[in-house]
Chain A
Amino acid sequence: MTDSLDQIFVTLKHWLLSGLDDLLKWLEVAPPGWSMPLVSIVLSLAPILMVFPALFAITTVLERKGLGRIQNRYGPNRVGPFGFLQFAADGIKALIKEDLVPRAADKVVHFIAPVILVITAFTVYAVLPFGRNMVAADLDAGLLFFFAVGAASELAVFMAGWSSRNKYALLGAMRAIAQMVSYEIPLILSSVAVVMITGTLSLTKIVEAQSTHAGLLPDWFVFTPWGFMGFTLFMIAANAELNRSPFDLPEGESEIIAGYFIEYSGFKFALFFLSEYLSMFALSGLGITLFLGGWNAPFAALDFIPSWAWFFAKLLALIFLFIWTRGTLPRLRQDQLMNLAWKFMIPMVLVNLVAAALWHFTGPGWMRWLTSGALVVGAYMLLGKPQFESKDIGKRTYRFAD
């Protein structure tokens, strides 16, 4: 029973495929050889194209509600019960708005940019394992595929900013690219530690490597010194890569209005938001796959809950983390942003690689906890603490809100 529930979507796909095959035989139609693999691909991709935009719709409402709660206000509360149908109203609004393109804009590039962004945002889902046997394309170099496709979106951001012929848009694009290029290094290097330990770039094999249990805790990489540090750095870099607050300088409403998508309106504007949120889910999914055990249950006793439910539960938890961060932290300054990346994150992530190597070569036992842990904590004490403890700022004093 639990197995059938776990594999329900895989079984459904096989059942549909064999049903189609039987139907064609009954109709005595011989399909061409390429048609059945094509149907299989479509059946694998259709759920991705349905589930994640739906999650996007729900997340926008949850985010606005959550931010409202953090800022002591209601958030959307007019459409549907508790305002939970707000996304439908927003979607219809975006669809029926006029699509304005500036007269001086580079029409073709202006049109292609959001399309490329959305395509790359969707493509990375192909290699993410959502559950046991649930991955659209089990590539040998899955992790590399994820980062390669993700890197292509930077060019789309530049295209959007440049083609708008707007100073704010170009400034936003410049900021976005400087930020994405800087934070891509810690993002990739923090996942390299996992690759070093598992010895594979395939995301399904990385999940399999975390499926065992050692005592009470599962063998997730986040429960190791290097894994914990790697996960923390990965999430910070992911936050910057997504241009979300506190790293939202490329959009910075109060400085450059909306950055690279200032000249987009109507549904193209909605596409920018869609791709931003899709990338957020994809990067969260990658973080889950690399550090949080993928679709594995935390305890062996909880294995009866299907694997895909675990994946989405972890995904929602990480989305909550992103919303919480956005509601809590103020925006960084440009020099702070670059200092954080180049003076703290990159040295830290390099030390983390050494810590992972130590963990691997010390062998099982408490010694590797000691050596690897001491290295990570020592590096943080040396690199992080002096930077974050600013000396010329005294204790905070409140003038009005006492």
Chain B
Amino acid sequence: MNLPFAIIAAVIVAAATAAMTLRNLVHSSLAVAVAFGGLALAYLYLDAQFVGLTQILVYVGAVAILIVFAVLLTRGGEPPEKCIFSATWFWGLLITVAVFATLAWCVMHSFASRRDPSDKVEVTVKQIGDALMTKFVLPLEVIGLLLTAALIGAVIIAMREEKK
């Protein structure tokens, strides 16, 4: 654990907490955008330039905008009157802690955590591109097909129905 990582982690956790607890939904979605940005910083700090910049482009530039629009178009920006915590918050907390503990245990005992961090490899964008076009070309194509189907679905939903 070092200082830059601690700062980035604190920003992410604070933004995520704010996203859950703020009463105004638009504020919450802006906090989510900050958390996305913090995650991008963490990637950049780990020398994963491509992933970090793509994270900003896709999540801050598109997903956050989508969330904000969804909030605006559904309920308006009025904060709720009653308490925002649900009655079963204790059980929710318990399940969350259990899930987190399981995941943490898995990560701590995984192959990745036992790897020696000193053998750092420089990964260029070109290498990522080559890998995507050769080794991972099938998953890439499948995702492309899926996204095209989603796009066509969105157009069909948005299309105005002809009155007979």
List residues of A whose CB falls within 8 A of some B CB.
109, 139-141, 144-145, 147-149, 151-152, 154-155, 158-159, 162, 177, 181, 184, 199-201
Chain B residues close to A by CB (< 8 Å): 26-27, 30, 33, 37, 40, 49-50, 53-54, 56-57, 60-62, 64-65, 68-69, 72, 77, 124-126
Report how far A154 CA is from B66 CA in the complex, Å: 11
Q: Per a CB cutoff under 8 Å, which of B30, B40, B54 touches A109?
A: B30
B54–A148 touching, CB < 8 Å: yes
Query: Which chain A residues border B49 with CB–CB below 8 Å?
Result: 139-141, 144
Choice from A144, A149, A155, A200 contacting B54 with Cβ under 8 Å:
A144
The secondary-structure label for the interface of chain B is helix
12 pairs of residues in contact across A and B, judged by CB atoms under 8 Å: A109-B30, A140-B49, A140-B125, A144-B125, A151-B62, A154-B61, A155-B30, A155-B60, A155-B65, A158-B65, A162-B77, A181-B62
Chain B residues with CB below 8 A from A155, complex form: 30, 33, 60-61, 64-65, 68
Is the pair A141, B50 in contact by a Cβ cutoff of 8 Å?
A: yes
Q: Which residue of B lies closest to A112 (CB)?
A: B30
Are B53 and A158 neighbours in the complex by a CB distance under 8 Å?
no
B124 touches A148 (CB 8 A): no
Task: For the complex formed, measure the closest distance between the CB of A339 and the CB atoms of chain B, giving whole angstroms.
Answer: 14
Q: How far is the CA of A21 from the CA of B122 in the complex (A)?
A: 31
Given A148-B53, A159-B30, A200 and B126 contact (CB-CB distance below 8 Å): yes
Known contacts A140-B125, A162-B26; is-contact A154 B53 (Cβ 8 Å): no
Structural contact, A148 and B50, CB atoms closer than 8 A: no
B3 to chain A, nearest CB (A): 12
Complex Cα gap A144–B62 (Å): 15
The contact of A144 among B50, B69, B77, by CB within 8 Å, is: B50
- Contact between A149 and B62 (Cβ–Cβ < 8 Å)? no
CB distance from B55 to the nearest CB of A (A): 8
Contact A144 B26 (CB under 8 A): no
Q: How far is the CA of A147 from the CA of B60 in the complex (A)?
A: 12
Q: In the complex, which residues of chain B have a beta carbon less than 8 angstroms from the beta carbon of A154?
A: 61, 65
- Chain B contacts for A181, CB-based, 8 A: 62, 65
B57 & A144 in contact (Cβ 8 Å cutoff): yes
Q: Taking the nearest CB of chain A, how far is it from the CB of B13, in angstroms? A: 20
A145 to chain B: closest residue by CB: B53
Residues from chain A with Cβ under 8 Å of B54 in the complex = 144, 148
Q: How far is the CB of B14 from the nearest CB of chain A, in Å?
A: 15
